[in-house]
Structure formats: structure tokens, C-alpha cells
Structure 1
Amino acid sequence: MSLRRSSRLAVCKDAAIPAVLKETDNAQLGRKSQAENTRSHKRRRTTANTGKKGRKAVRVPSSTLPLHDLPLDLLFEVVGYLDPTSLLHLSRVSRALHNTLMSRSSQWLWRNSYANSKHELPPAPDDLTIPKFVGFVIDEVCDFCRTLMPKKAKVSRIWQARMRCCSECLEDREHFVNINNFGKIKFIQDVLRWLGKDFSLGTLLPGSDTSGSNYPTRHDVPLVVLERLASDFARDNKRKSVEQKKRWLMDRVSALDKVKQHADICRTWEGDVWYKQLEETMELRQKRLNAILDKMTILGYEEEAENICNRSAFYEHPLVKKVQPLTSRGTSCSSILLSIAASEVLLAHSRPEEWFRIRDPLLRLAKELSAKVAEEVKRRAYGDRYRDVWHVYEEYLDGKSRQTHPSIGDLVNFKEINNLIYKTPMDKDLSPLEKEDICAVIDEVARMRFSEWRTRCETALVALLADKFKNWDRKATAADLHLAVSVFSSEDDKWHWWYPEVLTIDGRPLDMHMWALTEEEEEDLTPQRRQMDAFSADVFHVNADRVRSAARLVKLAGLHPSTATVDDMDARDPWFAGAYKKRDRNTYGLHVMTWRKAAQELWGSEDIVLVSSEDTDLARTMRDEWRAQSSRPFRGGLRLPALEKKKTRGH
């Protein structure tokens, strides 16, 4: 039966009005009724020019007003072409659009948009609606402190818990607790009592998994998640048995397992997006760098552009590092659709091309970096020449005594060698020195400079001895350098040398003599650095106590300190030890040393004795065996074996 006209009107009158239309229509009806029913009131007379400014009218944006006037079917037809991200932004334009697009009856629109548009978002989960999930993915708001992150900062998404967190809140113990620190919480104690102590709480409590090279994987659970789980458990398990409670907990474990599977997919998607954005950023920066270098080449700065193309200082400059192509700014492609006059006006008020604004500072930086590159290339060329001279000089010293010849540091300080390295003109291709030229200069320097160099070094060493030998009946001379008591020590008294081996010690730090030079030290080929490789008497001193100790050793060996040379002591080859008892020697063995080792180890000690001839012969035999079997140099000390077995008590 058809309804009467009055009934149909009543039904239409009480019908629900769409939210998207309700706000606009009610506003229009309200304005109309107010205009008809409100009586005009008399206004109070005021004087002109009171000096008070009236309130400016606020203009409400009307960009979405046409959408308010559309019927629902047309509205859904229009927004149906949007991707989920754009649809979410549209729902936040006004309250009317939000109520319409977020209503339960509009969920089909989100499902169609998610399935049919190209949004590059991860798959939607089953435990969240699509609008909530899209907002969770694209919004950069911390769910704990409600802070909107800036562009350069990103929130950390805890995909298992469906929560976002900033870096500060993630480390805040008021918001997160480690899964290993749940022992005192009663709810957790009950769970472990019902499900067993070996039950993994990570399967029940979603959280954030972080790992590092210095610590194992850490599972942090938001406290709000723990409180929510405990509240749900208390609500759903009143007056229930233990088996029902266990079943409820295992259902939560199963549900969380599905969430974790989706979280793994989302984390993979997040990593792919990060790498993709990084590649796009690097590509844009490289294009901008290439465009800047092309502009410099056009302006005649081809050499500077070539020198700085791989310089990080230029690439990291803020004007170069911008993630933005080098294009003209302020002009619009739509200006070609305007009239000629309108286009001229638009171009006249547009900003100049970006290159003209950044050109001057970048060109200044390019010139500075280009000069540094040229200097570095020249320095490396000098380094190659230095190494060439070094290798040729090593061949020259082959078969000669290095103790009586200058080191490479002294060699390059001679004027002839220095001019060969630093004053020889360089071709454009920086060609190396010829070996014949190097050999000729070394032969000339050896004939003219080596004897002068040795005399200068001996004079400096004699000056060190003169202060310690002033109590002798004569002055120190160059002949005294050969004495066994002429011991030259390092400034810290850790290292000791005799003449002429002391001439091989240069001015580098002493620990650098024990190891090979690093690559950076090899590359440091400046004249100031190589000056350290030359001999310098300033790094030595003569210790009076060590001189007296050496004199005592010479006397024990049967020689006189004022005449015994280093060669005399080496030829006699005496062995020494600290004072010992014969019984201890036979039972425990004996630590013996050569005279050089004893002068270094036992200086200042009066308990120095010359070992017996039998022990001396045994020590020499053991030293020869060491040298025959080991590739390491003999350091001057060894332990003689015991002559009889140590007596032990029986059990």
C-alpha cells in the first residue's frame, strides 16, 4: 500500500541529512531565518575619526566549498580517484568531510582506494582500519609526548604495538621497560606461574627490538601496552579457571603472532623506502653537482671544476648539497599561456636564476680548493721523487756500512739532493726523476759531503762527552767516541747506543724506530717532516751513572776504562750476571747478559759479577744456537739451565 502524501512528507522531514551537506545547508537556513525574524536595532551615534580601527574581516578559505555542495554519490565518485594518503589529507580539511569520509559507511571507499590506486604503502593489517593505518604510517607525531617531528627528524615506529615514538621517549624508562625487568610485576609473575618460567614474554607483549654491535638484541615494551593487556585480562577473566586464563593468554599470543608477521613486512617496506629515498637524494645531489660543474666549465673554470670534482669539501657545501635541481626559480611554465604583456610582468617580478645567486661564493670556494688540489698534487710528486732517491741510495749502500754513512734524512738535506727533488722543473705530467741523474748526484755528494757530515756529527757527540769526562786528566776527543764507557742514552734513558751505531739514529720519536711507518706517515713528505729523519745530537745525553757502570764492567773484564774500546769488549765477549750464590746457580739456573745488555740493565748496581768461564762458554753456545734457529735478533740476555734437579718432597 502506498503512503499518503502527508506521511511521505513526514518521512522526508525526519530523514537523516548527510553530514557533508548538513553543515552548509543549516548555515544557509540560519542566515535566512535570522534576516527575516530579527528586528533592526538603533545604533548609538558616534563621532567621526575616533582613532579606533575596526576589526578586519577574516576570510574563510573556500577551496573545499564546491565539495560541500556535491551530492554524496558525486562526492564519492570524485574522491574515489584519490590514493589513501590524499584521501586522509582531504578528510582533515573540514569537520564535515571528516565525518563523512571517516564514517563506517564510507569504509568501502578506503578499501577501493587502497586496492586500486598506486600508493606504495605496505599491506593493510586486519587489526586496524585503513584510515588509522594510513595515519599511523604517514604521520610524524610521537604518541607519548605528542610532539610533531621536524622534517629532518623521524619517529620510530613500533610496528608490533602500532605506536610511534621519538628518540627521547624511546630511551625514557617512564614509557618503556625492558622485558628482562618484569620480575616484580604481579601480572607477569602470574603469567609465568600459569604458563611456566620458560615461557617467552616476547610472544605475548609487543615491543621494540633494538640490537647493536656491543650488546645483544633488546626487547623494550611500552608500559601502556602492558597496562592495557593487564586491564583486558582482568576484565575478561573474572571468576574463571586457570585453564580458561591460559587459553585467553594463548589466544593473545596467536593474535600477536599475526601482528608480528605483518610488522616484519612493514619493517622491510620501511627499509626499502629509506634506501629508495637515499638513492633519490644522492641522485639529485649528484645532478646538482654536475650542473654546477657544467656552469663553471662554461664560465672558463674548467681546471677548477676538474680539480674539485671529487673534493668532499665542495660537495658538502650547503649550496651544493641541497636536495634540489639547479633550475631557475620564480618563473612558471604556465606563463607561456598568458599574454606577452602578462608574461613580461611575471618575469620582471620573478626571482633570478639560482645559479647567479650562488655563483660568486662557489667560485671563490672552487679557487681555494683547486689551489689546495694543485699543492697536493705537487706534494705527492715531491714524495715520489723522494722515494726514487731513497731506493737508489739503498742500492748505493748495498755492501757498505750504514753506521758510517748518512741516513736518507741527512742525504736529502744536502743542497745538491734537495735541489734535485724540489728544484728540478716538473713537466705537466709530473714525470719522475731519471735513475742516472740520481746516481750522478749521489756520487758527487758522497765525494764532497760525507766526510764533512761525519766530522760535524762527531763534534756534536764529543761535546756531550766533554761535560761528563771533565774529571779526567785530559779533554774529550773524537777518539773517546770509540771507548766502551761512551754510552749515549735517549732522553728517557730507555735506549742506549755506542759509536758509530748512534749515527744511524735520527730525530724521530724513538717508538717509531720499532715499527714500520704508517701510510699517513709515509705520505707526510714535507721538508719539515723529513728534517726529523736527519741525525741530531739533541735527542741524546750522557748519563754519569751509566758511564760508571760501564767502567765497572770494563774493569771486571780485565781492561782499563780509559783505553778499552767497544771493539775490545766485543772481542773479549765477557758475560755478566747479578750477584748469586753457587747453590742457587746449580738449582735454579742463572740469568746472564752480554756486556752491552749488562750496561743497560744493571747500571748503578754494585752487585755485578763476571760469570765463570764454564758458564761463559755455555752462554756463547746457547747464543749461537739461538741465532741459527731464530729469525729474531738476539737481545743480549738468556737463562742458563740448572746443573742439578730440584729436590721435591714425596707424597
Structure 2
Amino acid sequence: MPRKTAKRARRSPPERDARISSGVSSTSSPGQVKVTRVDALKSRQATRAGTPQSLLNMPLDIVLEILTYLGPRELLQLARTNKAFRAMLMSRTSQSVWKASRRNASVPERPARLSEPAFAHLLYSNYCHICLTLRSVQPMWEYGVRYCGDCKKARFPCMESTIHEEFDGKAFSFFNFLTVRRGPRKHRVYYYHIPEMEYFRSAWHMLGGDKDLRRKFIQENTQLREKKIQFGRFCKLWVGDQAVARAEELDRIREKRLNAIVEKLRAMGYKEEIEWIARDDYAPLSEHRLVRKAEPLTARAWKGMKEEIIDLMDEVRDEWLDRRSPGIEESRIKTRRG
């Protein structure tokens, strides 16, 4: 059987090699320069002025001053962009920046047990603090965590009777138990947070049998428990206020979009029809799915919805003419679609 011979690699013509090395495309016409990867990279880097990366080239005091105008959510996102910003914002020297950001966002007062970044993480991160899932995540403000259903079940076991005895019968005084009512009689079932239990158990045993120290420990942690419960209430109120503010913002965006569409329809010759439906908050126009979108009206968006909105307004015109002159045949001229 004849032995196969390896194919020789075709040598590039000298003029082609010269074009490639000099950045000139072999397929381009004379005088047309090919943009190399290095040139493209430099071009992209040049257009990044004003991005977060460009802040790192500024003096530190100026950078910190700029960051004080951001909210905790933006600072948290910025800290996750690269190592330099993370090192800056996670250091103690940036505490004044975080405090200013909390004032900007009107968030609840930060509990002493949480650092500034940890507090922002609790308020604005939507994923489970254990498994990082985004499904069915519930904030548990009193405990300073967010858990999904599975992790919550794993981290909150049911309380055993021995726990109450272990802490001299005072566990209910300072433990922040999660209380659930179960059964037909709705009797209370208590669940404890494992990290909290581990801390209390370690601190309690370090006190030994000193009754005075144990009494002081119970008193301090009873006060801390009340602060945690109060913090949870404040956070729930804050979440409610945020939801209301967000709903109002979306309503303003929808109203602005509706007004922009109304003005366009007026200019197209639907002035009388617009005046007629204005008595009923512009229904059915204001109830149309494309009109109710909480998005600014762009030229592209209007182009995509224009025909459908005109069809709707033609129906409005027909109804308006019927009610204006019942029983009388009128000529109905459709608005020219241009």
C-alpha cells in the first residue's frame, strides 16, 4: 500500500506577508488599511472614558467624593466590577462613603452587627445567601439574611426542650425564635437559627457557672433581641415604601408615554376623537397593552405600534360618529396613514 505523504503547507506570497505584517488587508483595495486587533483594542479603550474603570485614574479623594452621590445599591454593584473597586469599597476608609449613600437612599438605620457592605448586601441582593439561587428567596430581616425555601428549612430546625434547660430556662428571653402556628388548634412551634444558636452556645459555655456573668449576658442579648425585632419592622416598612415609590414612578412613565402618543394622534388628525375619550381618561387608548408599557416612547417603539393604534382610533372614530349623530348616515373618512 503506498505510503501517504504529508501535504506541504502553501507558502504565502511575499507581498501578502508584507500586507499582513503592516496591517494592510490582502483583499482590500490599495490605500485601504485593515484595522488590526491591537488598533481595535486601543479604539475600544479610548471610548471607555467616563466608565467606572476611568475613575481609578483619578485622585482618591475625588473618587470618594464622587461615590458619595451614589446609593448603596450602586456602590454594591461597583464593588463587584473589579478587584480595585472591591478593595477600595470594602476597606474601613470608605465607611463615610457608605454612610452618605445610605442617606441618599433613605434606608433604615444600619444595625451595629452588620458592616456597611453587608448591610447593603442584605437590602439589595435578591439571591439566597447560602446557595445563591434566585428562586423563592425571602428576606429575614431580624436575622440579617436572605434564604430560599430549602435553605431556610435547613437553617431553622425545630427547638428541642433541652435547649431551654441548657440556658437555665431563659432561652425565650433572649433567643430570637421563629414562631409558626401549626395544626388545627394553631399551636405554636418554635424554630431557632443555627448560626445564632452556635454563637449563644459558645458564649454561654465560656461564662462557666458564674451567675452574675450569665445574668448580664441574658440582659444584654434580650435588649439586642428587641433591637433585631424593631429593625425587622423598619425594614418591612421600608420595603413597602419602596414598592409604593416604584409603582408611582412606573405610573409617571406610563402617563408620559400616553401623553406623547396623544400628541402624535392629535397631529395626525384625531383631535376630536382625543377630546371625546379624554372624558374617560383616554380609554380605550390608555388601556391598550402597547400604550400601558412602562417605557419611554421612542421613535422605534412608535413605528412598531403606529398601525395598531391607528386601527384602534378608527374604531373610536366610528363609535364617536354613531353617538354624535344617531340614525344619520355620515361619510366616514379614515385618516390617511403616512
Same fold by TM-score greater than 0.5: yes
C-alpha distance 89-185 of structure 1, shift in aligned 2 (>3 A): same
Classify the secondary structure of the residue corresponding to 1:238: helix
- Normalised by the size of structure 2, how large is the TM-score? 0.64
Contact 2:285 2:312 in 1 (8 A): yes
User: Which residue is 2:33 aligned to?
Assistant: none
Decide which of 121, 125, 129 is 2:115's aligned counterpart.
129
Classify the secondary structure of the residue corresponding to 1:157: strand
The structural deviation recorded for 1:293 is 3.4
C-alpha distance 217-104 of structure 1, shift in aligned 2 (>3 A): farther
The structural deviation recorded for 1:249 is 3.9
User: Which residue is 1:187 aligned to?
Assistant: 163
C-alpha distance 356-251 of structure 1, shift in aligned 2 (>3 A): same
Give me the whole-angstrom Cα distance separating, in 2, the residues matched to 1:238 and 1:311: 70
Question: Structure 1: which amino acid aligns with 2:139?
Answer: R
- The Cα offsets for residues 36-69 of structure 1, whole Å up to 9 and x where unpaired, read as xxxxxxxxxx7546xxxxxx77959664554444
Classify the secondary structure of the residue corresponding to 1:320: coil
Contact 1:83 1:114 in 2 (8 A): yes
User: Which residue is 1:269 aligned to?
Assistant: 238
Classify the secondary structure of the residue corresponding to 2:291: helix
Give me the whole-angstrom Cα distance separating, in 2, the residues matched to 1:98 and 1:300: 57
Question: Structure 2: which amino acid aligns with 1:121?
Answer: V
C-alpha distance 373-204 of structure 1, shift in aligned 2 (>3 A): farther
1:120 aligned to 2:91? no
- The Cα offsets for residues 409-432 of structure 1, whole Å up to 9 and x where unpaired, read as xxxxxxxxxxxxxxxx9689xxxx
Equivalent runs, 1:435-514 vs 2, <5 Å: none
Contact 2:254 2:293 in 1 (8 A): yes
C-alpha distance 316-169 of structure 1, shift in aligned 2 (>3 A): farther
Equivalent runs, 1:31-110 vs 2, <5 Å: 48=11, 59=41, 63-64=51-52, 66-80=54-68, 82-110=70-98
1:318 aligned to 2:289? yes
User: Which residue is 2:5 aligned to?
Assistant: none
- Larger Rg, first or second structure (1 or 2): 1
Give me the whole-angstrom Cα distance separating, in 2, the residues matched to 1:135 and 1:234: 27
Classify the secondary structure of the residue corresponding to 1:127: coil
- The Cα offsets for residues 490-535 of structure 1, whole Å up to 9 and x where unpaired, read as xxxxxxxxxxxxxxxxxxxxxxxxxxxxxxxxxxxxxxxxxxxxxx
Contact 1:143 1:164 in 2 (8 A): yes
- The Cα offsets for residues 598-629 of structure 1, whole Å up to 9 and x where unpaired, read as xxxxxxxxxxxxxxxxxxxxxxxxxxxxxxxx
User: Which residue is 1:241 aligned to?
Assistant: 209
Contact 1:158 1:207 in 2 (8 A): no
C-alpha distance 124-356 of structure 1, shift in aligned 2 (>3 A): same
- The Cα offsets for residues 454-473 of structure 1, whole Å up to 9 and x where unpaired, read as xxxxxxxxxxxxxxxxxxxx
Contact 1:314 1:365 in 2 (8 A): yes
Question: Structure 1: which amino acid aligns with 2:307?
Answer: D
C-alpha distance 73-281 of structure 1, shift in aligned 2 (>3 A): closer
Equivalent runs, 1:488-567 vs 2, <5 Å: none
Give me the whole-angstrom Cα distance separating, in 1, the residues matched to 2:256 and 2:189: 42
Gap regions ≥5 residues in structure 1: 1-45, 50-55, 330-351, 378-424, 429-651
Contact 1:160 1:207 in 2 (8 A): no
Give me the whole-angstrom Cα distance separating, in 2, the residues matched to 1:114 and 1:274: 20
C-alpha distance 208-195 of structure 1, shift in aligned 2 (>3 A): closer
C-alpha distance 217-368 of structure 1, shift in aligned 2 (>3 A): farther
Question: Structure 2: which amino acid aligns with 1:232?
Answer: Y
Higher relative contact order (CA 8 A, sep 6+): 2
Contact 2:69 2:101 in 1 (8 A): no
User: Which residue is 2:129 aligned to?
Assistant: 143
The structural deviation recorded for 1:368 is 5.0
Give me the whole-angstrom Cα distance separating, in 2, the residues matched to 1:323 and 1:370: 26
User: Which residue is 2:175 aligned to?
Assistant: 204
User: Which residue is 1:157 aligned to?
Assistant: 139
- Normalised by the size of structure 1, how large is the TM-score? 0.36
C-alpha distance 247-370 of structure 1, shift in aligned 2 (>3 A): farther
Question: Structure 1: which amino acid aligns with 2:203?
Answer: D
Contact 1:79 1:87 in 2 (8 A): yes
Decide which of 262, 268, 284 is 2:253's aligned counterpart.
284
1:359 aligned to 2:306? yes
C-alpha distance 164-283 of structure 1, shift in aligned 2 (>3 A): same
Give me the whole-angstrom Cα distance separating, in 1, the residues matched to 2:272 and 2:179: 53
Contact 1:161 1:207 in 2 (8 A): no
C-alpha distance 298-220 of structure 1, shift in aligned 2 (>3 A): farther
Give me the whole-angstrom Cα distance separating, in 1, the residues matched to 2:66 and 2:227: 35
C-alpha distance 93-99 of structure 1, shift in aligned 2 (>3 A): same
User: Which residue is 2:268 aligned to?
Assistant: 299
The structural deviation recorded for 1:313 is 6.6
Classify the secondary structure of the residue corresponding to 2:143: coil
1:254 aligned to 2:254? no
Give me the whole-angstrom Cα distance separating, in 2, the residues matched to 1:69 and 1:299: 52
Give me the whole-angstrom Cα distance separating, in 1, the residues matched to 2:58 and 2:64: 9
Give me the whole-angstrom Cα distance separating, in 1, the residues matched to 2:156 and 2:319: 52
Contact 1:288 1:320 in 2 (8 A): yes
The structural deviation recorded for 1:275 is 1.0
The structural deviation recorded for 1:135 is 2.5
The structural deviation recorded for 1:274 is 1.2
Equivalent runs, 1:329-348 vs 2, <5 Å: 329=298
Give me the whole-angstrom Cα distance separating, in 2, the residues matched to 1:157 and 1:304: 49
Give me the whole-angstrom Cα distance separating, in 2, the residues matched to 1:271 and 1:209: 23
The structural deviation recorded for 1:218 is 8.9
Classify the secondary structure of the residue corresponding to 1:259: helix
Question: Structure 1: which amino acid aligns with 2:163?
Answer: F
User: Structure 1 stretch 59-68 or stretch 249-258: which is displaced more?
Assistant: 59-68
Contact 1:304 1:367 in 2 (8 A): no
The structural deviation recorded for 1:360 is 0.9
Contact 2:67 2:75 in 1 (8 A): yes
Contact 1:288 1:324 in 2 (8 A): yes
- The Cα offsets for residues 12-56 of structure 1, whole Å up to 9 and x where unpaired, read as xxxxxxxxxxxxxxxxxxxxxxxxxxxxxxxxxx7546xxxxxx7
The structural deviation recorded for 1:95 is 0.6
The structural deviation recorded for 1:359 is 1.3
Question: Structure 2: which amino acid aligns with 1:139?
Answer: S
Give me the whole-angstrom Cα distance separating, in 2, the residues matched to 1:294 and 1:209: 55
The structural deviation recorded for 1:323 is 0.8
Contact 1:195 1:246 in 2 (8 A): no
The structural deviation recorded for 1:146 is 0.8
- CA RMSD of the aligned region, Å? 4.5
- The Cα offsets for residues 280-318 of structure 1, whole Å up to 9 and x where unpaired, read as 212322332343334334433456543595587754543
The structural deviation recorded for 1:366 is 4.4
C-alpha distance 71-206 of structure 1, shift in aligned 2 (>3 A): farther
